[in-house]
Amino acid sequence: MIIPSSQPIRVMLVDDHMMVRRGLAAFLKVFDDLLLVGEAESGEAAIQRCAEARPDVILMDMVLPMMDGAATTRAIRQQFPQVQVIVLTSFKEGDLIKKALEAGAIGYLLKDVSADELARAIRAANSGRATLSPEAAQVLVETANQPPTPGLDLTEREREVLALMVEGLNNTQIAGRLTVSPSTIKSHVSSILSKLGVASRTEAVTLALRNRIVP
């Protein structure tokens, strides 16, 4: 159980939609222990106003103009490590959740969260405790159980060679394009097949196209 502090928790809102900020501002007024101290419509403004408003907790949208929520969260956590960030968004894609948490967010909630749930998350964040929406937690579990994406361990040169393989070039043609010897390309191709877990150039090209390993 989290015991409310004698001082209200200072909250700042970061969202590029004014109506969303108005709704959240109205929600905060319902709770005596939560105090709205600032708003920002962009990442750059959030960083600037964080220094002025001195919030304890920030409710952060992920999709912001110019500087997204993850980048803004990372910058704020670096400059103001005492400030906790809860991402409040409409998106539950695994890569967005991971980006937010890696950037330093302590919570990830969807915008359909109830007022009481959001208030509890703010109090938890202020006490250093994480909160994930059930949907976000489920996505993270599913993502963790998926096999790794093929091609992540390819070197930059191997990606170049694979891209030329996708274009249909043979080893000699790739060697000419990259101004190296055919034997060097043969070595790269062998490494590519091994890392992708395939037995032929055709399989490598098919896998590269299916998984968008190369542009």
Where among 115, 145, 175 does a domain terminate?
145
**Over residues 161-189, mean pLDDT:** 96
pLDDT at residue 141, rounded to an integer? 82
Same domain, 65 and 117: yes
pLDDT at residue 196, rounded to an integer? 93
Where among 96, 119, 145 does a domain terminate?
145
Same domain, 127 and 199: no
Domains identified in the chain, total number: 2
- The number of angstroms, rounded, from the C-alpha of 168 to the middle of its chain's C-alpha atoms is 35
List the domain range (segments joined by +) for residue 76.
Answer: 9-145
pLDDT at residue 169, rounded to an integer? 96
pLDDT at residue 39, rounded to an integer? 97
Same domain, 22 and 120: yes
CATH label of the domain that carries residue 76? 3.40.50.2300
Q: What confidence category does residue 95 fall into, taking pLDDT thresholds of 50, 70 and 90?
A: confident
Same domain, 40 and 107: yes
Q: pLDDT tens digits for 108-143?
A: 999 999 999 999 999 999 999 999 999 999 988 887
**Over residues 13-36, mean pLDDT:** 96
Same domain, 42 and 90: yes
Q: What confidence category does residue 5 fall into, taking pLDDT thresholds of 50, 70 and 90?
A: low
Same domain, 68 and 171: no
Same domain, 67 and 167: no
Q: Rounded to two decimals, what is the model's pTM?
A: 0.67
pLDDT at residue 146, rounded to an integer? 64
Strand order of the β-sheet with 84-89 is 34-40, 9-14, 57-60, 84-89, 107-110, 131-132
